[in-house]
Amino acid sequence: MIERISFHVAELGIGFLTAVGLTLVGAFVVQYMLRAVEVPKVLVKSGSITESIVRVCEHLHEKYYPPLFFYSGHSQTILSAVFRPKSKVDYQRELFSLSDGGTVALDWAFPPSDGAETTTDSPILVLLHGITGGSSESYITSLGSEALKLGWTVCAFNARGCSDSVVTSRKFYSGGFTDDVRAVVRAVHDRYPARPQVAAGFSLGANVLTKYLGEEGNLTPLVAAVALANPLDFVRGSVLLNSGFSRLVYSSTMTKRLRAYVRRHQHMFPERASLERALAARSVLEFDEAATALAFGYKNALEYYQDASSGPRLGGVRCPLLLLSAADDPIAPPRPEYMDNASEFVCMAITTHGGHCAWAEGLVPYRSCWSDRVTLEFLANSVEASRTELVRAAAKDGFVCMAP
């Protein structure tokens, strides 16, 4: 009798624990659906060419489902940087010489039916990496491999000395230096004048791309561009990056890579900068004070940050530009206030989650990337718009908030 009672008690215990467990899982899923899954908020100027493009971008009007078990900004940022697999892309490297004697490496990738001398009208996608990154970064190969599936040609731009390239002049690169991108974009256009050229930049590369577009205006050969996780404001971004958890994790990691970059190329280190202080830097701010600012002729890091910020230059953009940001990005959060003075060609899409250059999705992350689909859809629709009579010179005033 005692054994029978014990057995029933054990059964009741297992059943109770199972019920509690299912209840907790259910509550977690409900919270996830209510708090994590949302349609992006889109800011775009009414009556503009970009509004017409955005309206036919289906992915910008659908819910983004971040990973169920790690959807916060820090977790997406860290886990994507460590565990996101690199898609296989077969590059052909070109060393592109610049007018000052410098060199950048261009890693080209062609779809199976394409070739270097193609005369088709399929787009060419120029990709710009983040700080000390390169063409092998997972976010670059992911977007590049998806573009290749569409029959596009990919040109991954590697800044001076990045991705195992050599430095051939006493000038490195910075988050506000646009001359190299300008030269490459023009050269690609001259080489393939019949093919639409588009671009996408990530983080630091997003800022360089956006600043270039604001400076170049109508002179750019680019048909459209997407800037992902663009800091827009280096001054406020520096305060965030060099505070608390971000300083301990993100700034220290970036600084370590910057010091490694300097050690590799110290024989060509800019004379105006301080090699000793650069190698001793313990934060991005300290590094920029010692090296970047002085190398590019600024008095200090603050002056460099003010001039390098791309947000104030959005008014000069003259091709469709999507600024894609995540509200929980711990490194480069959205700065929607800059849309007030942006041109009619600029739109901004903000997701609640996504981290920094992550935007993983689904129960099994990294099988696909939400931002890849959004980026390619926006660029493809922009290319199609450029081939029609859709482009309008004038636009109505005011922004439309296309939010759920």
Annotated catalytic residues are 203, 329, 356
Helices of type H across 170-323: 179-191, 204-216, 234-241, 244-246, 252-264, 275-280, 284-287, 293-295, 301-308
CB of 76 within 8 A of CB of 360? yes
d(CA 236, CA 379): 29
Sheet of 153-158: strands edge to edge?
92-97, 103-109, 153-158, 124-128, 197-202, 222-228, 321-326, 346-351, 41-45, 399-402
d(CA 164, CA 392): 43
Strands 399-402 and 41-45: antiparallel
Compute φ and ψ for 202, nearest 5 degrees: -120, 130
Which helix (H) or strand (E) segment is 169 a member of? none
What residues have CB less than 8 Å from 69, skipping those under 6 apart? none
21: tokens are 């467990």
d(CA 327, CA 356): 10
- Could you give the 3-state DSSP secondary structure of residue 323? strand
Nearest CA-CA partner of 325 in 223, 212, 235, 233: 233
**Half-sphere exposure of residue 223, counting CA atoms within 13 Å on the CB side?**
27
CA 263-265-269 angle, to 5 degrees, is 100
